[in-house]
Chains A and B, each alone.
Chain A
């Protein structure tokens, strides 16, 4: 049974590049290559990466350190220009999506402004870039409540724990109602119990807001638990290795990790990762 899942689970790299572009596409990359040139030479961080992410889906990037996961997120967010290839976010150039506030970004180390309280940090997106609160999006106070930080509005970042800071930064990324949420190892520095809880909470947010999430992690279990699809990248140069659909039923709760299906998928990803 385990073997059957493993065999049918992996899709060879070639098919990770999807065929037609549809209206319900959040992200589309075609032959994206990114090179960094420094004194010590040129690094090819991404080499001809093609992928399509359906609107409303949850995709996780998994791969060895240095395979270009962060770089791929940054290309999508218009923080790094691709050296070659095309990127489309919500059917337009990434810059357009960024200016429309369609992209939310959660950084690895929360990146809160230390001189602002939790609430003021969540309000920041409305104070810059000429943005106003969109109709239908939730006010900052409510988002802090959503991430379980009611009562902490006036605390400064140095008064919050790492997990709480990360939750403030998630609230900040959600406040402008982004259609695409990019998360770069957001729970990497947290203990396992906190991480588990935030994983469940993130799935709740994803289900209640309907945003597309692209998530980077080094944890196989986190990848299987959260995603609908896992995109495996290989290093040097960074390229797509496989797209693995995660067939576990939704909504998911933590005990799903003890099912045979979960264990089989995790094993499959581990073997893929070892061969990267």
Chain B
């Protein structure tokens, strides 16, 4: 077929220097806007918060000022970090374990419909038990070390990933499957070249949820008879009415959560370079 000369002379992307520069400048502007606006909003909220505490003369043990929290963050940085360490390890281990199990099970489900029909309802049932109820059971089963916390973090990651992964592996374009049949592809090739690829956007949206919930799981696990970790520090600070420390602990926990989320997002951008018209 002849090339359509009217649209693009040599095919491919035509590079127009001025237009390209304009495009990049507009893109940069939007990016800075997206970065700076939330920072501005945070500063505004902190100022409001500070003003409210001072204006209404609220006692420090009920609500501290942001500056008091900030002071604790700097002065007791070593204690905060020492307690972040175990929580981070538990959250990351739980994340890896829970997601790995979910991906493995989803793969098994796609290969064996009977297994899915038998075990999916059980997975749904286990998921309806709230974390706070699962935590004591696991502590009783696994002792007081890191294991029960890892197990809780893993369980909390497991379900969303399982559901998303099963959907991603199954929800493929039917025409893509017909195409593979026309090409006489083997079931293994269909799995690797269609289903796995199709599931990646679904998987990453589950992993991003799991990145934050695994930290929550580890913290909740530490609430039950733990002496170290962000969860333990939250309990200790609360009972000691050391509210600035409580706030600082929470800030450290959520900062870690946000970083974890960011890392997963970064990996996603390198793995999924295409746009899906199906995955949400």
- A residues apposed to B, CB below 8 Å: 77-79, 98-99, 101, 103-105, 107, 109, 111, 113-116, 124-125, 127-131, 145-152, 155-158, 167, 197-198, 201-202, 204-205
Contact = CB atoms under 8 A, between A and B. Distances in A.
- Residue with the highest number of chain A CB atoms closer than 10 Å, among B180, B181, B184, B198: B184
A123 B275 CA distance: 20
A155 B3 CA distance: 16
A36 to B, nearest CB: 15
Given A111-B175, A129-B184, A204-B2, A149 B11 contact: yes
A128 B2 contact: no
Contacts of A125: 183
Contacts of B198: 115
23 contacts: A98-B181, A98-B182, A103-B182, A105-B179, A107-B179, A111-B176, A114-B274, A115-B272, A115-B273, A128-B183, A128-B185, A129-B185, A129-B189, A147-B1, A148-B2, A148-B11, A151-B11, A151-B12, A155-B13, A156-B273, A158-B275, A167-B1, A202-B1
B194 interface: yes
Contacts of B8: 151
B180 A128 contact: yes
Interface in B1-25: 1-4, 8, 10-13
A169 to B, nearest CB: 9
Contacts of A103: 182
Interface string B184-228: 111001000110011010000000000000000000000000000
Contacts of B183: 101, 124-125, 128-129, 131
Contacts of B185: 128-129
A98 B198 CA distance: 25
B275 to A, nearest CB: 4
B178 A115 contact: no
Interface residues of B, number: 33
Nearest to A182: B182
B78 interface: no
B173 interface: yes
Given A113-B194, A201-B2, A128 B186 contact: yes
Interface string B146-179: 0000000000000000000000000001011011
Nearest to A95: B184
B3 A148 contact: yes
A205 B189 CA distance: 30
Nearest to A158: B275
Contacts of A148: 1-4, 11
A82 to B, nearest CB: 16
A45 B179 CA distance: 22
A155 B194 CA distance: 19
Contacts of A155: 12-13
A128 B175 CA distance: 16
A116 B272 CA distance: 11
B254 interface: no
A114 B279 CA distance: 12
- Residue with the highest number of chain A CB atoms closer than 10 Å, among B183, B193, B273: B183
B277 interface: yes
Interface string B262-280: 0000000000111111000
Contacts of A147: 1
A205 B181 CA distance: 24
The 9 nearest A-B residue pairs measured at CB: A151-B12, A151-B11, A201-B1, A128-B185, A129-B184, A111-B175, A148-B3, A158-B275, A150-B11
Given A148-B4, A156-B274, A205-B1, 6 more contacts: A105-B178, A111-B175, A148-B3, A151-B12, A152-B11, A156-B275
A197 B3 CA distance: 10
Nearest to A163: B4
A204 B12 CA distance: 23
A23 B49 CA distance: 88
A91 B198 CA distance: 37
A270 B13 CA distance: 42
A204 B2 CA distance: 9
B245 to A, nearest CB: 48
- Residue with the highest number of chain A CB atoms closer than 10 Å, among B175, B182, B198: B182
